[in-house]
Amino acid sequence: MFYQYMAMLHVSSRIIDRELKKGSAELLILSLIEARPRHGYDLSKLIEQRSDGALRFHVASLYPLLYRLEERGWIRGRWVEKAGQRRRRYYRLTTRGRVVLAAQRRGWRAFVEAINRVAGVEHA
Amino acid sequence: MRDWKLEISRRLADVTLAPPREAEIVEELAQHLEDRYQELLVGGATEARAYNATLAEMQDHELLVRELRRTATPPPVIPGTRRTSRIADIRQDVRYGLRMLARNPGFTVVAVLTLALSIGATTAIFSVVYGVLLRPLPYPKPQQIISVAERAADGHPMNFTDPNFDDLRASNHSLAALAEYDVNGVSTVVDSAGPSRVGVAFVSHDFFRAMGVAPVLGRGFSPDELHEGAAPVALTSYGYWRERLGAARDLSRFKLKMGEYVFSVVGVLPPGFSFPTGTDLWFPRELLEHLPSRTAHNWHVLGRVRDGATLVQARADLSVIARRLKQQFGADIDMTDVDVTPLRERLTGDVRPALLILLGAVGFLLLVGCANVANLELARAAARERELAVRAALGADRGRLVRQFLTESLLLSLAGGVLGVVAARWGVSGLIALAPPNLPRLTDVSVNLPVLFFALAVSILVASGLGVLTALRATSADPQRALAEDSGGHAVSPHSQRLGRILVASQLAITLMLLTGSGLLGRSLLRVLSIDPGFRTENILTIELELPAATLTAYSFALSPTGRAQAAGFVDKLFERLHTIPGVQEVGGSSDLPLAGDLSNGTFLLLDRQSSITMLDDFERLMHAVPTGEADYEVASEGFFTALGIPLLRGRLFDAHDTADAPHVAVIDQSLARATWPNQDPIGKKIEFGNMDGDVRLLTVVGVVGDVRDRSLERPPEPTVYVNYRQRLRPGGDFTVVMRASAPPASVLPAVRKIVRELDPDEVPRLHTFEQVFSASLETRRFNLMLIGVFAGAALLLAAVGIYGVMAYWVARRRREIGVRMALGAVPGDVLRLVLSHSSWTIAAGLVLGLAGSLALTRTMKSLLFDVSAADPVTFAGVALLLAGVALLACYIPARRAMKVDPMVALRYE
């Protein structure tokens, strides 16, 4: 019957994949501006450096994400002019963003632990 | 510095952004590219290489464009709004919802069909309720049209008498028009195309002004046509003009013959106008006699409240006049006050309770259907719990997830609604075909715009309820717990389980209420059918005729002896010829066939041999001086009693010696004998009943027959006086011949038609079997029972599927537990007990709730019941047992599956 049919339904791997990438990118950006405001180029460099080049954001994917986070009210961009430089847009974490970041960190931790348990990977 | 801005702008040409926003984005991206370019140069790259490498950052610009489109703020309509992103979100939700539904066809099909059934049935019934009860009458300012009736001392409404109508019309200050009309029904009318049965009405001259209609062709009645003896004229309905008169513009050549009168057609009324319902021809009421009596209640009255006055004012105004008349005329007037109601209410008042009960019943069916879909959605939400947990963990906020569920529910219920409306259109045609003839305004019933709005509103309401319920339940789960559970997609919170069982219990409760309702109606019908009506119906053919008339005598008391003799002669010849048909055993006739419609009743005087009267005026005088009685008055032949098997209890029936010139005789029924002459022999007693037909000759009681339920099976027999057709036949009146044959009635139809045509070519006889007449009198009861029964049956099926689904799901989730138990030595009986004990609480709760609800609700349907208490214990116990049985059976199927669980397989399963 349909109940059993539905019970066997599983989460589409494509959905997880997409949500993972998107979610992890959000987590990265929120974390990087937690301590102090940063501009877009700065963010892309930091991600690349700290991941030893494993993660890299192009302009085409980084900025839409920043705009979306800003739209949600999690981060806030502001043009800052410094002496001898052209003006740049710096992003800082909002109060709401701070709450989201905490929740995402928890969720991520739970997710990783779940994956570990399922996949049998031991904790370091 | 390179011109990065140009490169960027070129690539963003497809995105519509507000100019300031676009400038900001371009500046920000250009800055990024410039930083990158400078860095590459510092790293030792050539300008060309650095340039190319930098542009490579933009190579995925389609992605950028797409992402920007999604997040872009559009050119602001109102600064600060975020409309596009919301619309984009909704679009995304819809797309995602459609994908999810398509991925789950089993769920989607069952849910949509359930909703289509429930919404369709609700919409169909609402169409009838709207068309009959709610839709404004199709006349200008319909709220101004009122129906007025005299109110008797005991509060019941009566038709108007001429003088009372005249006084009200002359003295009121609140009405623009007040008119008399009759509901004369159907007459045989001969036009150029031959005879036909046509709905006719006599209406006084203000009638069309009150209704707010005027002829679309020709003219209305002119003043010189509005008196007794004037040249008879007629207005026709648009339909009659098109079908019978060939839609001819020149009306002057059309003459309509009714009885001995010939009417000239002077006008055609607008399309759709047919009031009183079914009328095709209107004649001036002023052609008929104006009776001076204030106790001859012959006319329906309607009026139009004048602009600026209210219904309340009109009611007060007319009431004052009526009470003043009562004071003035005392015992010579029956009217003590007036009833003033909007015409629409007057037309539909009788069917209102039944229709509202049907609407309530179908609403219950809708709830049961929704509960099923809710359970399906809960189960599906449980299966999706991990997906939701992942999304929540990755940053999807709860509001967004709730919206996702709402969107999916909305998609489901709109699909169900659309299918439901299609189904409702079929349903409405079916309802119209099956509806009892007394359901008014059926032509106004259709699936129209207001009905579609209703269906849409119901769909949205259902979607919101389902979506919010499921979403709140599904998203309240703790993502961490859901993610941590290793139950392979079977994670389901105890909350969802409990909610599912509450839903099933409510379903069972509502179903029980519907079953109780239909059970009570069914038992009522059985009670009605078990009544002895006092006559037989088998193998009897009825032939409704309109007797030839010498004069236009609908309300005339001045009857010519020749007219009567002519009519009686026609009937005699007809009886004689019908007797010659092979197989015919009995032939008789009566002015009023039992169960077939209106009966005349009135007050008679008990007179002795000496005190006979010579004129009708004496009747009024004597009414206050001698003993009186109340009875129905019917003209009949002796064959009427023998054909219908009405037993003769005492004395004799009419016979050929009772000629028009012989002393007039009467046969009475047992209840009249008991009521009027208790403990006496009624044979030989004299009564005066001249007020019924203007003949003041005394009637001598010669026989007593058994009681007959004339008006309806449900009403106790009324005292009845039968008079002899040879002495008291009314020319121009309706007369029904009854024939009992040894052969099936259908076999003699052609012979009957031939005989009637030979005797009177203008006669259009209506032939029915008496069983048809009998059955038609039960149509309303059967219609209500059928609808509520169908709703109850559908609800029972849905509830059975609902409880089956929940239990099947429960068993599927417990396979391992059951396997362990069986491995540890449990026998199938133990497993069966486990499953049934789990479900029996749900079933018991549903039954208790349902019985309580039924007790509270069946009271509202008292008016539809007959001889059965609204709390009838037999019905209550019966439907509770039925429901419990079906519910347990629905649980037994999954239980059997549980018993067959192989412990080894079940343990491996996880």
Structure pTM?
A: 0.69
pLDDT at A122: 55
A32 pLDDT more than 70: yes
Q: Residue B60: closest CA among chain A residues belongs to which residue?
A: A60
B285-309 pLDDT per residue, tens: 998 888 888 888 889 999 999 999 9
Q: Do B386 and A11 touch (CB under 8 A)?
A: yes
ipTM of the complex: 0.81
A103 pLDDT more than 50: yes
pLDDT at B910: 47
Instruction: Please state at what angle helix B105-129 crosses helix B352-383, rounded to 10 degrees.
Output: 160
What percent of chain B has pLDDT above 70? 92
Per the CB < 8 A criterion, the answer to whether B281 and B199 are in contact is yes
Q: Do A9 and B104 touch (CB under 8 A)?
A: yes
Query: With contacts defined as CB-CB under 8 Å, which chain B residues touch A2?
Result: 106-107, 110, 376, 805
Comparing A60-64, A118-122, B583-587, the range with the smallest average pLDDT is A118-122
pLDDT at B845: 93
Which has more confidence, B380 or A91? A91
Query: With contacts defined as CB-CB under 8 Å, which chain B residues touch A15?
Result: 387, 390-391
Q: Are strands B281-284 and B233-236 parallel, antiparallel or unpaired?
A: antiparallel
Instruction: Please state at what angle helix B385-393 crosses helix B398-434, rounded to 10 degrees.
Output: 140
Partner B contacted by A73 (CB < 8 A): no
Gap between the Cα atoms of B861 and B873, Å rounded: 16
Which residues face A90 on adjacent strands? A39, A78
If 0-12 CB within 10 Å is exposed, 13-18 middle and 19+ buried, where does residue B840 land? middle
Q: Do B390 and A111 touch (CB under 8 A)?
A: yes
B808-821 pLDDT per residue, tens: 888 877 777 888 88
Per the CB < 8 A criterion, the answer to whether B635 and B599 are in contact is no
Partner B contacted by A119 (CB < 8 A): no
Gap between the Cα atoms of B824 and B332, Å rounded: 95
pLDDT at A124: 43
pLDDT at B210: 94
* Mean local confidence (pLDDT), B541-563: 64
pLDDT at B855: 92
Confidence of residue B496 (pLDDT cuts 50, 70, 90): low
pLDDT at B453: 92
What does pLDDT average to over chain B? 85
Partner B contacted by A3 (CB < 8 A): yes
Query: In terms of residues, how long is chain A?
Result: 124
As a dihedral over the C-alpha atoms of residue B464, residue B466, residue B471, residue B476, rounded to 10 degrees, the angle is 120
Per the CB < 8 A criterion, the answer to whether B290 and B211 are in contact is no
**B-contacting residues in A 34-53 (Cβ below 8 Å):** 39-41, 44
If 0-12 CB within 10 Å is exposed, 13-18 middle and 19+ buried, where does residue B479 land? buried
Confidence of residue B587 (pLDDT cuts 50, 70, 90): very high
Confidence of residue B177 (pLDDT cuts 50, 70, 90): very high
CB-CB: which of B82, B394, B486 is closest to A20? B394
Q: Residue A28: closest CA among chain B residues belongs to which residue?
A: B394
Gap between the Cα atoms of B283 and B162, Å rounded: 17
B746-770 pLDDT per residue, tens: 788 889 999 988 988 878 888 888 9
B201-241 pLDDT per residue, tens: 999 989 999 999 999 999 999 999 998 888 899 999 999 99
Provide CB contacts within 8 A for B463, sequence distance 6+.
B406, B409, B410, B412, B413, B414
B895 pLDDT more than 70: yes
